[in-house]
Structure 1
Amino acid sequence: MTTPPTDPRRPMPELPTAAEKALYLAVLRAGRIPLRELTEQDAGAAARLLELGLLEQYVPDGWVAAVDPRSAAARLGAAHRAGAADLLARADRAALALDDLADHYDAARHRLDEAPQITHVHGLERIQHRLLAIEAERYEEVLAAQPGHRPAEALGNSRMREALGRGAVADILYQPIARRTPHTVAYGAVATGWGARLRVLDEPFARMMIFDRRVAVISGAVDNRTAAFIEDPGVIAHLVDVFQRDFARAERVPWQILDGAELPEALGRVGELLAEGLTQRAIASRLGIGERTVAAHIARLRERYGAQTLFQLGRLMRDGAR
């Protein structure tokens, strides 16, 4: 008897069940059994044992006899190995067949990576929509250079307050006209109370915003009705350097004093202890709060009074206490 070639598309035969094994043992004990009688006992199990090669039918007289299980096991093993080898070969052929598509994909990605990562957006409404989408991603840092007059409707951003409340950093650069505009002074007083740093630079500088050093937005036209959204890391790194250089030279402004705002109680208490000459650690110990909290209060006081150093701040606080 010869074993027919295995078709890898057909499922591999399952191993015999308990019922099929019992029927095999019955045939083995009997020596041989008429196929008709065996089928009457369990037609499904009889067909499966013949399929697995555990039983052999003698066609002339219609009898069935048991076959050595080792021979059946060898045939089953060969069938499984042939199927596995064919599957491995098909897997290799699939990889080779898709190689040309992979080459095209890599070339397309390479062209995309080389493309300028700059998007030009036209129209104030579209620009605002794009900015809102960026702010909705919960940025952790924003660097903003805003030259010229700031209209009242451009201030009072509740999203800025929410961002600062969760610990974001906001550094904003204005020109001197901001100190002479009441609504900008009022905003400066409020925003510095939230934790923002607003400074004034008496030099020309370009309008831009940088979010998380990941996306930079610059004006693309004189009327500011076109904006370029930049995601190129090299360009953004350059813009960050330009901003930080300008911000370091800019003047601190006592926005809250200009606005006539009263000093919050916590800041006032820290200021009083600074005026007495206490160190940051001593102030934390006296007030029963952490040094980081004291450092944050001192940073706000420096912004409020425009103090360049801690020594200068202490002197300003002493002068104010007299």
Structure 2
Amino acid sequence: MTTNSPIRAHPHSMAELCDEGKRLYASALRTGRIGRAEAEAAPCLMEFALLDPDPDDADWLRPVPPTSVLAQRLRPLEREIQERRALAVELTDVFEPFMAISAQDRPSVHAITVLEGVTRINAAIGIATAECKSEILTVQPGGGRSEAILTEAVKRSQGIIERGITMRTLYQHTARHSQGTIAYAEYMRQGKVEVRTLEELIERLMIFDRTVAFIPARDDRQIALELRHPGLVEYLAKVFEQLWQRAAPLLEEAPYDPPTDGITGVQRSIARLLVEGHVDEAIARRLGMNVRTCRAHIAKIAAALGSGSRAQLGYLIAQSGILDQDRSK
């Protein structure tokens, strides 16, 4: 059975004209016509109106001039471009009054910005560091830092030292057992950098020029808050100053806290947190030590007070008076 309808053997767009279609169209342009039977090898030529029937002979086709084809195809594109340009002008007219408002001398940043993901957090901190002019305050809880973290910190701090920026950092007393952290502090002494330690600290905090601060918004530190509200930043700076006054320089001997009834200062801090109802993991995190070390201290407290159970330990701590020294400070 035969059919008069052409078979579409190789569908494609005009912009991707097939090799056979290109060859036959070029041949038709050179000779002025092409046989209908020969053109069936490239049905796209008729589909894209590159060939028209010859009015004098139905067996032949005539090529449409390429200038005509191109003009016909470009016309809707040019119309679309003109419409989009007109839309761009309309949108500009609509938003121009608002852009004039935002350009006025008024704060253009949010008081609180949520930063999600370590990459975005580090990028924001990097910008704040680069824009900092005079002072950086940081609180870094959790004990000593790894070699990789300290190496990266040295690279970042080099620019801070060269720019003469004052930097004060608070670590926990447990950092005193980290040779890497001590070496970092020794290196930083060449600039206006001071490092002190406390037994217990608040969560991580960074303040730049007392105009922008960063705090974690989740325990895993995958989300942080960038704070630019003057009241919030000033409040955090005051918290830092209070902690700083109580802290001891890292490169000097820490104040000696004599044992009370065989309980050291660190163990008293653990005992206080136990009485407050904190679990081992939370206590270890607050004091910048690992959970195993924390539990070893708890075992020593229990042995010193003669406790046989965790429930009894809290009662004996409260009754022993070992926390009275903390209250008198």
TM-score normalised by structure 2 residue count: 0.42
Relative to its length, the structure with more helix (as a share) is 1
Structure having the higher Rg: 1
TM-score normalised by structure 1 residue count: 0.43
